[in-house]
Structure 1
Amino acid sequence: MKKTFSYAIKGIGIVLFIWILTKIDIGELKRSLTSVSLVHLLLTLILFPVIYLIKSLRWHILSSSAGAKTTLDQSIRIYMIGMFLGIATPGKLGEAMKIPALISRGLTLKSATGITILDRLMDIAILGLLGIWAIGSLISVKLAGLVLVSVILLGLIAFVLRKLTLKLLPQIDTNSWARAIALTIINWAVYFLQLWILATGFGLSINPQIFVAIMTLVGIISILPIAPAGLGTRDAALLLFFGSLGISAEKTIAFSFTIFALTIIASSIGAYFWIKYPIKKINAQEPLQN
């Protein structure tokens, strides 16, 4: 029942995408899709493995610092499988898969869960900070101020309850924290560069600062678990922002759908590892082998 509900929730984005297609010129959409520069398309695709490697390295640093006995190769495989399952399945199965993988490598359930949550929170934290700036740039400085005040209040609450907060988080040394934060920043820099390259390939002429602000808010909206890989939700958000810049709906959807398609293609790396190393091999009895 719960699984059916999860699939139904993710179907919202698909329905939204289909509805959008009924409102635009399909012929013009096809022309926009075929107008993209193949060089830019290839460069965009090449940057996916770079992003995945950065994220895998961060996860390896965090899990190793917490005491997990794992090699970088194993961490890359586990992370890639989790990434693939996160795209291919409803809910957060991909994230949940990492927990038994860490337990089989020496971590307690609490530490394994904490690492998995922390890894995700680091991305959300950077995206959230950028989101406040993006709101101020695109929507309202006052609204951005209200969001910032809310974040500060939450931070103060977390500080007051720091003993409880620290108990929920695994022990990570200062050097590992610094490296993980640096990798998170690099990851987002590569991500925005990747999107900028693709946008340039479609001939989109947008101020870089405005573009990053738009893609930040679109990224936040795409996190909502109501669509596979942001399908539908990303399209709707981009139509709103790009439309205000005079960019046609067809070119906007072509750009957005290409992001979705390339994400699915790139996730085949994770699919390969998932097929070669089934989930049963991540437990203590059958650890991943080189």
Structure 2
Amino acid sequence: MTTPEATSTLPAKTKNRLVTLLKVGITLLSLAYVFTNVPLSEIGEGIRQARWSWLLLAALFNFAGLVLRSIRWAILLNGIGSTVPLAQLIRLYFVGAFFNGVLPSGFGGDVVRVIEVAEDVPQATAAGTVIVDRLSGLMGLFLLGLLVMGFNPDAFPAEILWQVGGVCLLGLVGGVFLLRGWRWFPFLERWLDKLPQKLARPFLKLTATLQALPTQTLLLALAISLLFNFLLVGQWTAVSRGINLEISYWYLMGVVPLMSIALLVPSFSGLGVREAIAPLLFAGAGLSEAQAVTLSLMVFFVKRASELVGAPIYLLSLWRKRP
């Protein structure tokens, strides 16, 4: 006999499988499109000539970025009165990065982070701070894009300058609304109360976290997000040097936010989607299609390879928890 619990969970499991298939499908189709237009031999040649010292530096930039984002998460937790040791948050960030890299989802690691840190703080608090952590990261990308557009508009391909500006501005304004709209418009919470409980509960828990976070804490988190994006551009710079490409830091500051926003497209950590748009974005820097795709792929592989360190960290934590 089928239990009500099994009946209720089946649609969720089916939905998750369909979403996973969609992400894998988009990745495979995007890669097929890329490799149809760019000869694999040219990509392989670029990889064979790589200078591994620069790629190692790019991996170190990635490690530094994970530590910096861990500090951002600690600030958010402290902002609502929850204290978790920074060393533990750094460990969880490395573990989360590993799961993001091996699962066909850019958010699998966030679930792991919520589950693990919920041993020390309420689950709603854990989930709320992880969501705000993600959101502040996106806002940092949008802010960086607008800053580069204001100070050096030539860093963006002219064909998409205004479209990019619109996306960045809307994204930044939307992020501010999500973080502070619940304080400015109290009727929103009353409106949520009228929705079915199952639908409204996650949003109500999130609003509780958002209302508890001081504005100063959110601004500090945004500042760290901006600093992290400078590190991210440094990572792309190191990889570009590693495959013998000379691209200015300013140009990368204009393009990298767009490449990172591509992670929002349903795919396996942006693989395929970023490679599909790379030729357009890097044409202004004088790169051929093969060079642009090679750069994007190498950034992906360096990032994924460096984040494998999260696997032994996770296994060690499981070993320590054994009875």
Alpha-carbon offset, residue 220 of structure 1: 0.8
1:151-190 counterparts in 2 under 5 A? 152=173, 155=176, 158=181, 160-161=184-185, 164=189, 167-169=208-210, 171-173=212-214, 176-177=217-218, 179-190=220-231
Distance 1:23 1:175, change over 3 A: closer
Deviation at residue 265 of structure 1 after TM alignment: 0.7
Matched, 1:260 2:300: yes
Q: Report how far residue 222 of structure 1 moved.
A: 2.6
Query: What residue is the counterpart of 2:203 in the other structure?
Result: none
After TM superposition, the structure 1 stretch with the greater mean CA deviation from structure 2, 97-106 or 212-221, is 97-106
Task: Report the TM-score, using the length of structure 2 for normalisation.
Answer: 0.75
Q: Which residue of 1 aligns with 2:131?
A: 117
Distance 1:143 1:191 in 2: 19
Q: Is the 8 A contact 2:139 2:175 kept in 1?
A: no
Q: How does 1:1-290 map to 2 (within 5 A)?
A: 1-11=14-24, 12-91=26-105, 92-107=107-122, 109-132=123-146, 137-138=156-157, 139-141=160-162, 144=165, 148=169, 152=173, 155=176, 158=181, 160-161=184-185, 164=189, 167-169=208-210, 171-173=212-214, 176-177=217-218, 179-226=220-267, 228-278=268-318
- The 2-side partners of 1:205 and 1:123 are apart by 27
Tell me if structure 2 keeps the 8 A contact 1:134–1:217.
Answer: no
Pairwise CA distance, 1:145: 5.3
The unaligned stretches of length 5 or more in structure 2 are 1-13, 190-205
SS in structure 1 at match of 2:95? helix
Q: Which amino acid aligns with 1:25?
A: P
Q: Deviations over 1:256-289 (max 9, x none)?
A: 11111111111112112222224995xxxx89xx
Q: Which has the larger displacement, 126-135 or 268-277?
A: 126-135
CA distance in 2, matches of 1:20, 1:142: 23
Structure 1 or 2: more helix by fraction: 2
1:13 Cα offset (Å) = 1.3
TM-score, normalised with respect to structure 1: 0.83
Deviations 1:78-111 (A, max 9, x none): 222222212222342321222233332132x332
Name the aligned partner's letter for residue 271 of structure 2.
Answer: L
Instruction: Give unmatched runs, 5+ long, in structure 1.
Output: none
Q: Secondary structure at the match of 1:277?
A: helix
Deviations along 1:178-215, one digit per CA (max 9) or x if unpaired, are 54333222211111111112212323233432222111
Q: Deviations over 1:227-250 (max 9, x none)?
A: x23210111111222235442222
Change (3 A) 1:215 1:178: closer
Counterpart code for 1:120: R
Alignment check: 8 A CA contact 2:145 2:253 kept: no
The CA RMSD over aligned residues, in Å, is: 3.1
